[in-house]
Amino acid sequence: MAKLKRKIEKDIMHWIETSEKALLVYGVRQAGKTFIIRECLEAAGCDYIEFNLIRQPEIIDILDKASGIDDLILKLSLFSDKKIVPGKTFFFFDEIQKYKEIVTRIKFLVEDKRFRYIMSGSLLGVEITNLKSAPVGYLQSINMYPLDFEEFLQLFNIEEKIVSGLHRAFLEKTPVDELIHGKIMEMFNLYLIIGGMPAAVEKYRASGSIDDVMDEHRSIIEQYKLDFTQYEEENRKLIITHIYEMIPAEINEKNKRFMMADIRKSLRYDRIADSFTWLWKAGVALGVFNTTEPTGPLLLNEKSSLFKLFLSDVGLLTTLYGKACKLKIVNKEKDINKGAVYENVVAQELCAHAYPLYYYNSKKKGELDFIIEHGGKVLPIEVKSGKDYEKHSALDKVMSTAAYGIDEAYVFTNDNIRTKGKVTYLPIYMIMFLKDEPIEFIDISLDRYKI
């Protein structure tokens, strides 16, 4: 079977070819970081030595106690059967969350310039976030996510011209051929039950068994829960696990906002705020925060104590909902409400495409599922899994408020593309094409300001 390509490969290869900085590839556990780093290093013909800080805890001691770079390299050479060659050798440190202090060493290792350094690890809680705050100029960071839907489509060997045609239809807002639309919707439904965790995807490729996929999902979920107990203080282990287990039920409620009272009556958010922060910093949950006004910059109106929580991967979500849910999705049964599942996919895709996640809610106007900044403008997004997708009173009220100046909105549905006024109705799978392009600035070079 052909290897599934990942979009992150291009970024890692660019780093190999052009950068002198160290590279950190981070993100949710089981997203395939270690595999893809090896693949890129080997494809580029790099001589590399790999150290895993979980399986080789003695490497942590070496990193911690080395008196200098020469001492460090000498001791590391004892744990490798490969020759270390200045100017050629890449050091790959995996699972660096076990020794977050490595970031304080990066400046000196990079300044030495004899070797190249690449690191990976899961962002396990708030403690590890300082990994990304290494001295500017010495460390490049890339976040890796599960396979998005566009990457997942590789399973079906779809011709590039079909994907290009879908993208063109998205950009030009023209309907897709109905036969193609129907086939892509079937593939999207499969994505809902398999998700983008590489191990689960490979299980499906190998056996075609949903039971095998679900077993892999359960194994991943148990590993996450083990992480909660490994990396958190004793008094927070249970609450983090409890919050994580509540997410599928919370997003299936009519009001998808996470309710503190569902954990314990009269519980205040500030009492357990760190537990929520831990989950979204670790990447196992995606936080979608309330913005009090649908105007940019959305961050200025963020109300961080009001939020929705989604899972990092939709396949994990449908596994938690059970096999009956997966069967109903594949069989396209009419009595299934896919609202929570669709919203989870949208949150997942937007996050993978580097959008900060927000929703809008007002007593007077109602609630918008998502609201993002796209192309320098505010873009409302509604997600509809049923047939009455043209009913969206909150969106209509927001769009008709001249003070907001919103000139476009997207509604993702099961149906084909069409436009009605300022609202574009798009097939749910086209969320894969929603990506922000760099904004062109006017000339702000120093020469422009010379007198």
Q: What is the pLDDT of residue 286?
A: 94
**Structure-block tokens of residue 291:** 């913005």
Contacts of 319 (CB under 8 A, 6+ apart): 213, 214, 217, 218, 221, 326
In a domain, 163, yes or no: yes
Do both 128 and 51 map to the same domain?
yes
Q: How confident is the model at residue 183 (pLDDT cuts 50, 70, 90)?
A: very high
Stated pTM of the model: 0.90
Domains held by the chain: number: 2
Grouping H, G, I as helix, E, B as strand and the rest as coil, residue 451 is coil
Q: How confident is the model at residue 264 (pLDDT cuts 50, 70, 90)?
A: confident
Position 2 pLDDT exceeds 80: no
Q: What is the pLDDT of residue 348?
A: 96
Do both 314 and 201 map to the same domain?
yes
CA distance 451 to 438: 30
Write down which residue in 113, 144, 175 finishes a domain: 144
CA distance 147 to 131: 24
Q: What is the pLDDT of residue 316?
A: 97
- Residue 196 CA neighbour count, 13 Å, CB half: 27
In a domain, 257, yes or no: yes
In a domain, 348, yes or no: yes
Write down which residue in 82, 116, 144 finishes a domain: 144
Do both 100 and 238 map to the same domain?
no
Max mean pLDDT range (104-108, 132-136, 411-415): 411-415
CA distance 185 to 168: 17
Q: What is the pLDDT of residue 227?
A: 82
CA distance 118 to 16: 10
The whole-number average pLDDT for the span 160-182 is 96
The predicted-structure confidence for 345-398, as pLDDT tens digits, reads as follows: 999 999 999 999 999 998 899 999 999 999 999 999 999 988 889 899 999 999
Q: How confident is the model at residue 226 (pLDDT cuts 50, 70, 90)?
A: confident
The whole-chain average pLDDT of the chain stands at 88
Pair type for strands 89-94 and 47-52? parallel
Q: Which helix (H) or strand (E) holds 309?
A: strand 302-311
Residue 294 structural domain: 149-433
Position 132 pLDDT exceeds 70: no
- DSSP labels, 16-38: HHH--SEEEEEESTTSSHHHHHH
Do both 164 and 129 map to the same domain?
no
In a domain, 448, yes or no: no
Our CA angle for 245, 369, 316, nearest 5°, is 30
CA 190 to chain centre: 19
Q: How confident is the model at residue 55 (pLDDT cuts 50, 70, 90)?
A: very high
Position 314 pLDDT exceeds 90: yes
Do both 199 and 344 map to the same domain?
yes
The whole-number average pLDDT for the span 162-167 is 96
Q: What is the pLDDT of residue 101?
A: 81
Do both 267 and 354 map to the same domain?
yes
Position 66 pLDDT exceeds 60: yes
Do both 75 and 200 map to the same domain?
no
Q: What is the pLDDT of residue 124?
A: 53
CATH of the domain at 14: 3.40.50.12060
Backbone Cα Rg of the chain: 23
Position 103 pLDDT exceeds 90: no
Do both 90 and 175 map to the same domain?
no
Q: What is the pLDDT of residue 308?
A: 92
Considering Cα of 330, then 332, then 336, then 339, what sign does the dihedral take?
positive
Do both 390 and 354 map to the same domain?
yes
In a domain, 445, yes or no: no
Nearest CA among 418, 440, 286 for reference residue 348: 286
The whole-number average pLDDT for the span 323-327 is 90
CA distance 438 to 436: 7
Do both 93 and 201 map to the same domain?
no
CA distance 339 to 257: 14
In a domain, 73, yes or no: yes
In a domain, 2, yes or no: no
Write down which residue in 144, 169, 194 finishes a domain: 144
Q: What is the pLDDT of residue 245?
A: 92
Q: What is the pLDDT of residue 222?
A: 93
Do both 26 and 107 map to the same domain?
yes
CA distance 357 to 371: 7
Nearest CA among 103, 114, 50 for reference residue 80: 50
Do both 330 and 187 map to the same domain?
yes
Angle between helix 339-352 and helix 314-321 axes, rounded to 10 deg: 160
